[in-house]
Chains A and B, each alone.
Chain A
Amino acid sequence: MNLLRELLENLRQFIATIGATTLFLGRVLAQVPRAFLRPGLIIEQVHNAGALSLVIIMTCGLFVGAVLGLQGYDLLQRFGSEDALGTAAALALVKELGPVVTALLFAGRAGTALASEIGLMRATDQLTAMEMMAVDPIRRVVAPRFLGGVLAMPLLTVIFIAIGIFGVQVVGVQLFGVDSASFWSQMRSSVGVDDVYEGIIKGCVFGFACSLIAVYEGYTATPTAEGVGRATTRTVVTSAVLTLILDYMLTALML
């Protein structure tokens, strides 16, 4: 009986969190036009979320591509069609690996930074101080950070994909000697602009979701050291789970 009550309580809390996040999203979106009046703040956040994530995104992209080259080559050469490596790897990167891995890295690198920064502002009463000075913290702090994440994520995704394809090329063509011309021409003949759009749309949606979760968790963090830590953890976990669920839905939608 206790177990059932606990389950119901958890369910109620889960639904309440979804509702609160949606309402919070409404408040942020309402401030977005005003946030654009101070583009400097947004640029700074694009820098924080995007430019500072560049090294990790590029390194991971290169190695994900290289592994794809190794595995893809090993698999395809069993069927004697290693020329299809370009196609297989490019489609995998553009449609799935690029957006999803970028979103996971983004949640780990930029999402946690956002959540802990805003959470710490809450814990040190900076947000309250702003409210007392009649500065809306959502407009001044949350909206620019949210927008920075939303703008940076699609760009990070395409960078990841481009570097990943370079990684595949390094392993497949340079290392294993797949014919360079057929690698590129098969890739070109079977990857359409639609596939690239699919990847970019996924990147945008994941960026939106991960940024929202990060700012929401930070903004509603319990104002203690422990609370900020918890908010950071929840950001990563929720972002990762939501990214994978959204990925399934988007793929089903666009297939």
Chain B
Amino acid sequence: MRSTRAVEISTGLFVLLGFASLFFLVTQITNRELAISGGSYQVNAQFENVGSLKPGAAVSMAGVTIGRVDSIGYDQQIYKAVVKLRISSAYNRIPTDSDAAIMTSGLLGGQYIGITAGGAEEFLKEGDRIELVQDAFVLENLINQLFATFARGSGDASKANEPAAEETKQ
């Protein structure tokens, strides 16, 4: 039998390797790594439709992630989705008239909130609301419209182009 010392060392290495792997999995491949270290502040925004936005999705400005979506709720009074955004305190110079849009990364990618800076002198702070919003682009709606157009088109081929042209103008 090998000496106890060698057994202890190799077991210790094994356990350390296990915990290092766990650390890697939890920090490197999961999305909580920007669980926002240090201070942060919360702002909210109201959307007609959030599409498939999920808590934990990125909030980004100019493509740089500056925060996360904290929670998504539905307000029965105003019939809108209320999205709470948690933004790192390092980014505390976001004008109050900035615009928040729900965007999709790639054709089938996940959704995130993109903020475009406005021109106001005052900056967003804890509890503020972003007034200018742009809803999620829902692919299904577009496809439904397209199908509706085709359905009408097959019914009456001569009129097919007109409604289609109208809808594209919208």
Contacts and interface: CB of A to CB of B under 8 A. Distances in A.
Interface in B44-73: 56-58
Contacts of A195: 30
A43 B11 CA distance: 7
A84 B15 CA distance: 32
Contacts of B26: 193, 196
A184 B28 CA distance: 8
Interface of B: 4, 7-8, 10-11, 13-15, 17-22, 24-26, 28-33, 56-58, 106-110
B25 A188 contact: no
A155 interface: yes
A155 B31 contact: no
Contacts of B106: 81, 83
Interface in A133-192: 152, 154-156, 158-159, 161-163, 165, 184, 186-192
Contacts of A192: 30-32, 56
Q: Is the interface of A mostly helix, strand, loop or mixed?
A: helix
A187 B14 contact: no
Nearest to A196: B25
Contacts of A51: 10-11, 13-14
A50 B56 CA distance: 35
A36 to B, nearest CB: 16
Nearest to A98: B25
B22 A189 contact: no
Interface string A181-222: 000101111111101100110000000000000000000000
